[in-house]
Each structure stands twice: as C-alpha cells, then as structure tokens.
Structure 1
C-alpha cells in the first residue's frame, strides 16, 4: 500500500489520466476554473503508458 495523505478540500473527483500531446491531462468540471487543485496518483502507470 502507498503513502497516506490527508487533504482538506471541497470536492473529490475520480478520473483517469489521458494522453495529451507529449504530456497527459485529467479533465475536471468547467466550474473548477480558477480553483486551486491537487492531483494524487493512486496507482502505478501501466507499461503501455511508460513508452516514452
């Protein structure tokens, strides 16, 4: 099991990191524009995603 983090926040979103050019992104609701966010990786990337 990984590390445990405690974060105070307003809302939690489960998502998947998707390819985006030479990088990757996570889509969040438009209403989050301008908000401060934190992204926590909860699993290891698959081999296919590491092929850079």
Structure 2
C-alpha cells in the first residue's frame, strides 16, 4: 500500500455505494461547493498487502 500526505480540514470515512455505471460517496451537506480528495484504502479485490 502506498502512503500519501494530504493537508486538509476534516476527514470523513464512508463506504462507496454503486450508482449507474459508477459509484458515489456521501459527504456532509456542509461540504457542498468545496474541493475534496478521495483516497481508496482497501483493494477492491480483497487483496490488501
């Protein structure tokens, strides 16, 4: 697994849910209009190192 350092104001942990041909993560409503970064922390195939 790689390690990343990100500067920010808050961390929100959530599950990714399927939607259409993609997926989405719900974040707090107060985050509307802000810029966010999403980091995947588990392997989608269950093959974490």
Structure whose residues are more often helix by fraction: 1
Would you call these one fold, judging by a TM-score over 0.5?
A: yes
Q: Which runs of 5+ in 1 are unaligned?
A: 48-52
Scaled by the length of structure 1, the TM-score of the pair is 0.82
Scaled by the length of structure 2, the TM-score of the pair is 0.86
Q: Secondary structure at the match of 1:35?
A: coil
Higher relative contact order (CA 8 A, sep 6+): 2
Q: Cα RMSD over matched residues? A: 1.3
Moved beyond 6 Å, runs of 4+: none
- Matched positions, count: 46
Q: Which runs of 5+ in 2 are unaligned?
A: none
1:46 CA drift (Å)? 4.1
